Structure 1
Amino acid sequence: MSKRIDGAMRAARIAHALKCPVCGNPVQVEESGRLLCPENHSFDFAKQGYVNVLTRPAAGHYNKELFEARRRIMLDSGLYAPFHKAASDLIREVPFLASGTGIIADIGCGEGTHLHKILEELDDPHVAGAGLDIAKEGVQLAARDFPDAVWLVGDLAQSPFVDGSIHTILNILSPSNYEEFARMLAPGGRLIKAVPGAGYLRELREALYTDERRTYSNEGTVELFDRHFRRTETVPLRYSVLLRRAQLEDLVRMTPLSWSPDPEAVSRFLDCESAEITVELDLLIGEPRD
């Protein structure tokens, strides 16, 4: 079976949760490998197994090199393994999953490794995963390598998910659209938003910058979350991981922190065989306000 048809079959499992991003009508998943709505808006699955539901061109800093570096470091170093475990434990607490199939949507999924590892950790046939990102290069990698979820290139502002259809939203170090999140969540569902703490990648930040970018505060991000969602829990994660030289190079490639520093500062940071890197994340757990 081709990846294109396999991707369409996975999407058919959650077809009830998908809508046309153009007109908002329900869609059906055709065996030939496309989404089709009653107004004849259609979206073909690509050969890698993902479907592009963007209604306008999109561009950004995130390219294939960045996504490949992120993929390597997550799979090879375990940099985010404690986060994947913590997120999986939180998802298991969602009541709906105890009695039926639940849908986890990773909004801003990038190249898909976070969702893949969380689904792997859950190991639950009653859970279906869907990853959405506006960057086609990332979603292509996700669909190519992780045939365990539905992968969509799309815009969160014109989300392809039906009202009240998603049981857990993951929003991992990515921008948010809280109105859309509230619309998408099923009754009893929850949003899990991972935001960097003050110590996140501290060693890299301090090595690359001498100005205010050496420090970071998530206060504004947390305030915005609390303004739109009722926070039910905060799970702090604090740990460090030893990275080898090649992994440090991937760390530099994968993070926006390295987009504008002095090249000499990057060279000095990489002039070592290994380094301990701090991961500090706050997992904000919330539900829509009434």
Structure 2
Amino acid sequence: MSFIDLLAHHSGVLRCPLCLGPMRTVESRSIVCGSRHCFDISKLGYVNLLNRSMQSKYDKRLFDSRRRMAVSGFFEPLNQALVEGIRGRHSPGQPLTILDAGCGEGSLLSGIRMKLEQDLCHPPLAVGIDLSKEGISLAAAEYKGAMWFVADIANCPFASRQFHFVLNVLSPANYTEFQRIAAAGGTVLKVIPGSEYLMELRDLLYKGSARKTYSNDHTLAQFQKYFERTEVKRVRYRVSLNPSLLDSLVDMTPLSWGVTEQQRQKALQLCGTAITVDFMVLLGQSL
């Protein structure tokens, strides 16, 4: 189903980011609210719903690198864990709506949607938002089975209680908004780095500094304050990367932000070394 068709069928999930009123599509060219706030539909198949210009550190090079890593299967164990988490909390035969808050270039949400389609009589509604126009442009150009929006998670452009599942993967969170847009009894799945995440790369880049180690204790404690029936699942595995993929890994991770070219070249010497991938998947029920 095209983006326009999805909008026509599911326009009720949206609310205007300016006046918070409901929105509708207009002649397949834009969406508009009752106060006449109008947002154009891109030819690629997404809508920019930001009410002001906002900067993001994430650029096209980073998203291109992340997609190459996704296509290589680098994230597959994590994707499978998220699918299993959704299956475990979804009632068979019931509708399924998923929001990926901080979706980047869309590969994770698209992969999850396709896996879940195998279980359902009707395809799930998959919606991705990100602050980066570059990321959403890539998502919309490549993945046509979902709705994509440039939007701010601190002002989610959705009516309340719309999503059975809210994903937030390696991205900033806004738990107040997640509580508002999650359906009653819905689930928020947040992915954070584990203590051993990319520890070989971290050791090379930050040996002798405080950034060599990582703790997610504060993030876990905050999550547990907002959501009930909290579960924590660890996804840990090791992969060896060829030079091209190792280069993409360095490009995609914020760990490399601010490093010197000498440090970067040193990191690329990890080719053939098993890299530790360590995630914590937090699952919590909305009130």
Name the residue aligned to 2:140.
Answer: 143
- 1:97-136 equivalences under 5 Å are 97-123=91-117, 124=120, 125-136=122-133
Structure 2, unaligned runs of 5 or more: none
Name the residue aligned to 2:39.
Answer: 43
Name the residue aligned to 2:76.
Answer: 81
Q: Is the 8 A contact 1:94 1:188 kept in 2?
A: no
Q: Is the 8 A contact 1:67 1:111 kept in 2?
A: yes
Q: Does 1:57 align with 2:53?
A: yes
Alpha-carbon distance in structure 2 between the residues aligned to 1:21 and 1:49 = 19
Alpha-carbon distance in structure 2 between the residues aligned to 1:189 and 1:162 = 15
Q: Is the 8 A contact 1:209 1:261 kept in 2?
A: no
Alpha-carbon distance in structure 1 between the residues aligned to 2:57 and 2:19 = 29
TM-score w.r.t. length of structure 2: 0.94
Alpha-carbon distance in structure 2 between the residues aligned to 1:21 and 1:100 = 29
Q: Does 1:193 align with 2:190?
A: yes
The Cα of 1:277 is off from its aligned counterpart by 1.4
The Cα of 1:141 is off from its aligned counterpart by 0.1
Counterpart code for 2:163:
I
Alpha-carbon distance in structure 2 between the residues aligned to 1:203 and 1:275 = 9
Q: Is the 8 A contact 2:185 2:286 kept in 1?
A: no
The Cα of 1:156 is off from its aligned counterpart by 1.1
Alpha-carbon distance in structure 2 between the residues aligned to 1:99 and 1:37 = 32
Counterpart code for 2:99:
A
Q: Is the 8 A contact 1:231 1:284 kept in 2?
A: no
Q: Secondary structure at the match of 1:160?
A: coil
Q: Is the 8 A contact 1:203 1:277 kept in 2?
A: yes
Name the residue aligned to 1:66.
Answer: 62
The Cα of 1:263 is off from its aligned counterpart by 2.2
Aligned residue among 226, 229, 250 for 1:228:
226
Q: Is the 8 A contact 1:207 1:266 kept in 2?
A: no
Alpha-carbon distance in structure 1 between the residues aligned to 2:149 and 2:86 = 21
Q: Single out whichever of 115-124 and 168-177 deviates more from structure 2.
A: 115-124
The Cα of 1:94 is off from its aligned counterpart by 3.0
Q: Is the 8 A contact 2:3 2:145 kept in 1?
A: no
Q: Is the 8 A contact 1:8 1:34 kept in 2?
A: no
- Deviating 4+ runs (over 3 angstroms): none
Please give the per-residue CA displacement for 1:1-37, whole angstroms capped at 9, x wherever unaligned.
xxxx932222223212111111111111234232111
Alpha-carbon distance in structure 2 between the residues aligned to 1:13 and 1:274 = 48
The Cα of 1:208 is off from its aligned counterpart by 0.9
Name the residue aligned to 2:269.
Answer: 271
TM-score w.r.t. length of structure 1: 0.93
Alpha-carbon distance in structure 2 between the residues aligned to 1:272 and 1:21 = 45
Q: Is the 8 A contact 1:248 1:274 kept in 2?
A: no
Name the residue aligned to 1:212.
Answer: 210
Q: Secondary structure at the match of 2:140?
A: helix
Name the residue aligned to 2:17.
Answer: 21
Alpha-carbon distance in structure 1 between the residues aligned to 2:222 and 2:270 = 39
Q: Secondary structure at the match of 1:270?
A: helix
Q: Cα–Cα, structure 1 residues 202 and 272, in superposed 2: closer, same or farther, change >3 Å?
A: closer
Q: Does 1:178 align with 2:172?
A: no
Counterpart code for 1:226:
Q
Identity of aligned residues (%): 39
Counterpart code for 1:35:
I
RMSD (Å), alpha carbons: 1.5
Alpha-carbon distance in structure 2 between the residues aligned to 1:227 and 1:35 = 36
Name the residue aligned to 2:254.
Answer: 256
